[in-house]
Structure 1
Amino acid sequence: MNQMKKRISLLCLLGLVIGFMVSCSKVDVGYLRTRDASFHPDSLNVFHNIDPDSERGKGNLPFVSTRIQGVAGTNPINYELSGVKADSEELSQLFMKLYKEGKVSVTGGLIVVTQEAAKQLPNGRYSLTLKVYNEDHSADLKDVFKIVVTDDELIVE
């Protein structure tokens, strides 16, 4: 009888161990919340002709957006350009080519357009879709930011 109790106890213990092992499936790490994600302002003006005497002209400084707001989640949170809408498919492809060459970048929630990229982009509006992701989560922010390319800098009085 004593040996029977030991076997039943051993079987129960074995059942518990198997049960724990089966219930341990991969659980998503952390979280990512992008419902309120936006840029303020939501556009960046980029110019072909820059005053050579300005700080931007002297230092060959890029055009930089404000940092995206409303993104929360488990770090590290990564950003990449996943799509561009422009007046034509060729312009969208040119923008993506410049992104792949590193002349346009999305770094830490900032969008950076080098002067070299600005000179290669024809005048127009470029609407960007960003992919935001961390270890186990991702979200596409469709048309979240616009880049407006013109010849000359806007004069604000």
Structure 2
Amino acid sequence: MKGIIYCIMTVCVLLSCHDIPEGYLFIEDAGYLPDSMVVKMNLDTASVEAPNPIWTQYYDGEWNDWAYKYYTKEQWREFLYSQNIYETILVKGPDYDRDRLDIPWVSTAIQGVEGTNPIIVTITDVISDDGNADKMLQHLTVRSNGMLTVPCRHDIPEGHYKISLHFKGPGYERELRDIFTIIVK
């Protein structure tokens, strides 16, 4: 009798699980922090001369009291020069390394996405009132963790671009509209 009951229960369980999709996908709390990124059209790579703080400390600061007991001002200057310490230094622009190393503009990863792996993320739509959405779509890529990437050198016109993403996992798929904003300046 127990065997018949177990067989009936097994058949019921198998029949009741027929329409349940595999895995799960939860994106109700999904979002980016921060939810926008500024991408520059023209990189600031210019170098400018600025006062050297080490020179200021050793030549004009607290060290000069000690140094001037043993050296003249000119001897101390020559000694600092021999140690490659000069009055000014060359300060590179904020985008110097990005340009030199071709570092792309990258957003943070999306947060709040849970589900059965693999979760495939694709860009479904780019909307812009003051830019060229097609040009942005040509350059924009998304990684598997939702990070959006724009190349360092691009020809995307200035504007605000709203990005929509599509998430697909085993048995489920969802779309998030206007989840991220890219500002090209």
Equivalent residue number for residue 30 of structure 2: 37
3-state DSSP of counterpart to 2:134:
helix
Q: CA deviation at 1:27?
A: 3.2
Equivalent residue number for residue 105 of structure 1: 141
Contact 2:105 2:151 in 1 (8 A): yes
Aligned: 1:145 with 2:180: yes
| Residue identity in the other structure for 1:137 | Y
Aligned: 1:135 with 2:177: no
Equivalent residue number for residue 153 of structure 1: none
Shift of the 37–20 alpha-carbon distance from structure 1 to 2, 3 Å rule, reads closer
Aligned: 1:60 with 2:102: yes
**Residues 92-125 of structure 1, C-alpha deviation per residue, up to 9 Å, x if partnerless?**
22222x1xxxx32100210000123xx3111000
Out of 160, 163, 166, the residue aligned to residue 125 of structure 1 is: 160
CA distance in 2, matches of 1:127, 1:94: 13
CA distance in 2, matches of 1:115, 1:136: 37
Which has the larger share of strand? Answer: 1
Equivalent residue number for residue 94 of structure 1: 135
Shift of the 50–26 alpha-carbon distance from structure 1 to 2, 3 Å rule, reads same
Q: Which has the larger radius of gyration?
A: 2
Gaps (5+ residues) in structure 1? 1-11, 151-157
Contact 2:99 2:152 in 1 (8 A): no
CA distance in 2, matches of 1:144, 1:20: 40
Equivalent residue number for residue 46 of structure 1: 39
CA distance in 1, matches of 2:116, 2:13: 27
Gaps (5+ residues) in structure 2? 46-91
- Give the root-mean-square deviation of aligned CA atoms: 2.6
Contact 2:98 2:152 in 1 (8 A): no
Q: CA deviation at 1:25?
A: 3.0
Shift of the 24–71 alpha-carbon distance from structure 1 to 2, 3 Å rule, reads closer
Q: CA deviation at 1:79?
A: 0.7
CA distance in 2, matches of 1:56, 1:46: 12
The share of aligned pairs that are identical, in percent, is: 32
3-state DSSP of counterpart to 2:167:
strand
